Structures are given as structure tokens and as C-alpha cells.
Amino acid sequence: MKYFNYISNAFSLQMLDTDITSVINVTPVNPEDIPEDVISCIGHPDTAAVISSELNRNIPVNRINVHLIPGDTVYVAQLIGGRLPAGATKLPEEFDIKYLKVSVI
């Protein structure tokens, strides 16, 4: 079975099969720990632009629904500081991004 790596700006319980018991593991990671093969599930252009700038690689806008299975991982780029200003392409000074690895086990 093939497992997938995703990158998102949020984690939702809708990503899990709630008809079964799921166990997740959440671990802080450094941006350089995020693998190259991540599939973007970031739906907003400004958010994708800022995360692309932070990771120094293209993270495209890709508004998809994600259904995680055991073995899948979603890397969450959690924006700290509020909503991004419209048209942002770089992280404003008063903001931060915390990167988290969410694994379904």
C-alpha cells in the first residue's frame, strides 16, 4: 500500500475516518524536515505563497479534501499571529509559522 505525505495549513478531524478509532501522533518539526514529495492541500493562494517562501520551494494552491489512512502523514504549517494580510507573499514580521508532523498510526 502506498502512503502519502501532505502539507496543509490546518488539521481537521474530517481528514480521519471517524467510523473507526484513529490514533495520531503530533510532533514539532523543522521546515527542512518536510519531505520533497508532499502533496499540497493548501487552498488559499496567499497561504501557499508564504509557505513556498518559507520552505524555499513551490507549494501550489491545491484545494482538495484529504482522507488520511494509517501510514499517511500531514505536515501542518500552523500560522501564528492571525490572518495573513491580503496579497502576502512573505511572512509578516509579527507572524510565525510552527511546523507540525501529524502521523496517523
pLDDT digits (tens, 9 = 90+) for 1-21: 899 999 999 999 999 999 999
pLDDT at residue 1, as a whole number: 87
The CATH architecture that domain 5-104 belongs to is 3-Layer(aba) Sandwich (3.40)
pLDDT at residue 16, as a whole number: 97
pLDDT at residue 21, as a whole number: 92
Asked whether the predicted pLDDT for residue 39 surpasses 90, the reply is yes
Residue 43's alpha-carbon distances to 1, 65, 95, in angstroms, are 27, 10, 20
| Total-model pTM | 0.94
pLDDT digits (tens, 9 = 90+) for 46-82: 999 999 999 999 999 999 999 999 999 999 999 999 9
Residue by residue, DSSP assigns 19-50 as: TS---EEEEE--GGGS-TTPEE-B--HHHHHH
The model's confidence at residue 89, banded by pLDDT at 50, 70 and 90, is very high
pLDDT digits (tens, 9 = 90+) for 16-38: 999 999 999 999 999 999 999 99
The domain segmentation of the chain, as residue ranges, is 5-104
